[in-house]
Amino acid sequence: MNRLFGVALLAGVVTVGLSCGGKGPTMTGPGEVKVRLTSPNSGLDSAIVFTVTGPTALTTAVPGAGLRLFQQPLGGTSTRFALIGQLNTGAVILTIGVQDISELSQYSGSITGVAKPNYTLRPLPGGYALALTR
């Protein structure tokens, strides 16, 4: 009888555990967002200017490894950034702090210009993009 009760209890715990798996908890509150670059000229660009826009002001901005950051003061719903250094596709070029990570889908980035190593501007025909992710 005890063995049957134990098996039934274990089966119930496993069933409840599996039903609670779902998508996991929804994150809210302050958090960090990574800005990744997609470039058709990976490793061949040396500067980028872009703007991040969202529902609230950013709280922090930290450049990716090997990059030097210039920025407007944080505040307001859009902030312009300039990064200098070797820009590689897929690399995190900037990590920004946001007031509420659950609003991530409301943030976007738009590229204004990209420069070659000699700092002449490239035309932006396509292939350049910014992705904002956790």
pLDDT tens, position by position, 60-118: 999 999 999 999 999 999 999 999 999 999 999 999 999 999 999 999 999 999 999 99
Q: What is the dihedral of CA 72, 75, 77, 79, to 10 degrees?
A: 10
- Nearest Cα residue to 114 out of 94, 97, 129: 129
Share of the chain above pLDDT 70, in %: 80
122 close to 45: Cβ distance less than 8 angstroms: yes
Q: What is the mean pLDDT of residues 33-38?
A: 97
What does DSSP assign to residue 58?
A: -
Query: What are φ and ψ of residue 11, in 5° steps?
Result: -60, -40
Q: Cα–Cα distance between 17 and 122 in angstroms, integer?
A: 54
Residue 26: pLDDT band by 50, 70, 90 thresholds? low
Examine the pLDDT at 31 and tell me if it is beyond 50: yes
Task: State the pTM of this model.
Answer: 0.79
103 close to 54: Cβ distance less than 8 angstroms: yes
